[in-house]
Amino acid sequence: MKTPKFTYHAPRTVAEALDVLAEHSTDAKVLAGGQSLVPVMAMRLASPAHLVDINRLTDELSALEVDDAGVRIGALVRHARLERDEAAAASVPLVGQALRHVAHPTIRNRGTTVGSLAHADPSAEMPTVLALLGGHVVARSVRGERTIDAADFFVGPMESCLGYDELAVAAYFPAPPGRFGTAFDEICRRHGDYAMCGAGVVAVLDEAEQYVSLKLSLVSVNDVPEVLDLTEVVRGTAYDEVDHAVLGDWVRDRIDPPGDLHASADFRRHLASVLTKRLTREAAARAITTTEGARA
C-alpha cells in the first residue's frame, strides 16, 4: 500500500528543521530511518501532511561520544553503527547486548536508535534499555532545549512526551556504577520478530561479591518501560547464594502483561519468570568474571 500524500522537507540545518516543525506542528512528522514511520503511513495509521527529513543533518546529529561514564548518540546514529562500536560496548555493554535483538541487520542499518526511542513502541528494546540505565533524551525546538529523563519520556504505547515541534537531537545511556554486569535476551516466534517477552538486567556487586543492587526491565509487558527493583530481595547476599528461581517468581507475581495473538498474559508471565532466572544469574556472573566487572 502507498503512503498518503505529503509535502517533503529536506532541511540543511537543525535550525531549519526546527523552523519547519514549528510552522507545521501537529501536521508534521520527523523522518529519520523511516523503518517505523513509513510502514505506519503505508498502513494509513498516520497521515502527516509534512515530513521533515533529518537525514542531511549529519554534521549536527551524527556524533557518537563514549567515555567510561556512558554513551551519547546523536539522532542520526543508526542502530548498526552503535551496535558495532567497540568503545560503546566497553562502556555500556547493555546497549549492544540489546541492539542485536532489534529487527534484522538491514533494518538496523537504516533505523536510528533515537528514532526508536521517539517511536516509543512497548515492544521495542531500546526504550527499555534507556529506562533501565536511567538515561535521558535531549529535545530541541525553536523554544529552546530540554533534557528529559527516561522515566518521564515515555508516556504511553507509541507515545513520548516530545512536543509536536520538538526534535530529539540526542540520547544518553549512562554506564551503571561500580562493579556491574548486564544481560539482555528475549523470546520471539521467529528470529528478528518483535519479542513476546524480553528482559534486560543490571546487577551491581561489592568487593565481597554481594549484591549492591539488582534491576530489571521487561519488553512487551508494559505500556511504557517499567524498572523493577529487586535490590531488597538480594541486598547483602553473595551472588552465588541467591535462589534465582525465587527472583523469577518475584517478577512473575508483580507484572500484569497483556494477552494477544502472539502470547497469552499467562504465557508472558511465564516467559518473564524464565528470563529473570536466567539473566539475573548471567548479569551477576559478568560482574565477577568479565571486563564489565573489572572496570570498577
Ligand X SMILES: Cc1cc2nc3c(=O)[nH]c(=O)nc-3n(C[C@H](O)[C@H](O)[C@H](O)COP(=O)(O)OP(=O)(O)OC[C@H]3O[C@@H](n4cnc5c(N)ncnc54)[C@H](O)[C@@H]3O)c2cc1C
Give yes or no for residue 20 binding ligand X (CB under 6 A). no
Which residue bears the cell 508472558?
A: 268
Q: Which is nearer to ligand X, 32 or 82 (CB)?
A: 32
Give yes or no for residue 168 binding ligand X (CB under 6 A). yes
Spatial strand order in the sheet of 197-205: 179-187, 197-205, 211-219, 227-229
Cβ atoms of residues 173 and 136 within 8 Å: no
Cβ atoms of residues 173 and 70 within 8 Å: yes
Q: Which is nearer to ligand X, 74 or 257 (CB)?
A: 74
CA 186/CA 164 separation, integer angstroms: 32
Give yes or no for residue 111 binding ligand X (CB under 6 A). yes
189 phi-psi bin (left φ>0, alpha ψ -120 to 50, beta other) = alpha
Give yes or no for residue 171 binding ligand X (CB under 6 A). no
DSSP H helical segments within 100-236, as ranges? 105-110, 113-119, 125-133, 150-153, 231-234
Nearest approach in angstroms of CB 229 to ligand X is: 24
> Which set of grid coordinates corresponds to residue 288?
565477577
Determine which residue in the list 24, 119, 136, 286 makes contact with ligand X, applying CB under 6 A: 119
Cβ atoms of residues 126 and 102 within 8 Å: yes
Part in contact with ligand X (CB under 6 A); list of ranges 4-12, 23-31, 80-88, 241-249 = 23-31
Nearest approach in angstroms of CB 119 to ligand X is: 4
Give yes or no for residue 116 binding ligand X (CB under 6 A). yes
Nearest residue by C-beta to ligand X? Answer: 111
Beta bridge partners of 204: 180, 213
Give yes or no for residue 187 binding ligand X (CB under 6 A). no
Give yes or no for residue 112 binding ligand X (CB under 6 A). yes
Nearest approach in angstroms of CB 248 to ligand X is: 24
Nearest approach in angstroms of CB 275 to ligand X is: 16
Residues that bind ligand X (CB under 6 A): 29-37, 39, 75, 102-103, 107, 111-112, 114-116, 118-119, 124-126, 162, 167-168, 194
